[in-house]
Structure 1
Amino acid sequence: MYQVITIIHVLIAMAIVGLVLIQKGKGAEAGAGGFGGGSAASVFGARGSASFLSRTTSLLAVIFFSTSLLLAYLGSRQDNKQDIMDAPAAVQGGDLPQVKQDLPEPAKPATGK
């Protein structure tokens, strides 16, 4: 269940990014010609009815926040029986080579006399 919600969450995030990238900005129609015509009202005034893309983005944002909360809830309730600090103890006596306990004496430096 957790993995399915995570996959849905990532797909929704990618869809939101794609929808935001293909939408025109609020001031895109102002252009280089200044605020001539009716562009000033559209940049600084009310936008009117929302387009299909902005409504879809809003819906996906609500679903994204919902899946975020659901993943946080499921993650807090999940039993984490394996701790990162316990990992070396689980490997002990496994594939790791044994450490020599009796090390040889270090070599004495040769004198040049």
Structure 2
Amino acid sequence: MFTFLLVLQALIAAALVTVILIQRSEGGGLTGGSPSGLMSARGAADFLTRATAVLATAFILCCIALATLAAMNQRTGKIDASAATPVQSAPAPVAAPTTVPTDPLAAAAGQAAGNGTAPATK
């Protein structure tokens, strides 16, 4: 039921956006607006106004139904404690090495030379 209402709401929203964009406003709207069409300009305006009102009402009702269904699905009578795991403390931080070479390139050069130790640092 929830999935059906969710898809229905998406379709209503798309139709509502389309109807709103088609309407003629002060800027002219997206329609070409020839009065010699299937409906007159006045008839089209009345139809689009009614369609907007109907779609907006359907969208709000769908929102309320979805919120009600979501709230009903979240209600549980018991808390399942078997899935809970005990919280472990974080491990102790590792201390930084006491001898850090000041020149990383010199340390890399000492390792590349094969002598395992870094050259003396200043």
TM-score, normalization by structure 1: 0.53
Q: Does 1:109 align with 2:104?
A: no
In structure 2, C-alpha distance between the alignment counterparts of 1:18 and 1:78, rounded to whole Å: 33
RMSD: 3.5
Partner amino acid, structure 2, of 1:11: L
- Give ranges in structure 2 of 5+ residues lacking alignment: 29-41, 77-83, 86-90, 102-119
- Inter-CA distance 60–112: structure 2 relative to 1 (3 Å threshold): same
Match of 1:34 in 2: none
* Residue in 2 that maps onto 1:62: 57
Residue of structure 1 equivalent to 2:11: 11
Shift of 1:80: 7.1
**Structure 1 position 66, deviation (Å):** 0.3
Q: Which structure has the higher relative contact order (CA within 8 Å, separation 6+)?
A: 1
Q: Which has the larger radius of gyration?
A: 2
- Residue 106 of structure 1 aligns with an amino acid whose one-letter code is P
Any unmatched runs of 5+ in structure 1? 29-46, 82-88, 91-99
The superposition leaves residues 21-54 of structure 1 with CA deviations (integer Å, 9 ceiling, x where unpaired) of: 01111575xxxxxxxxxxxxxxxxxx9xx61111
TM-score (norm: length of structure 2): 0.50
- CA distance in structure 1 between the partners assigned to 2:2 and 2:24 by the alignment: 35
**Percent identity at matched positions?**
33
Cα deviation, residue 63, structure 1 = 0.5
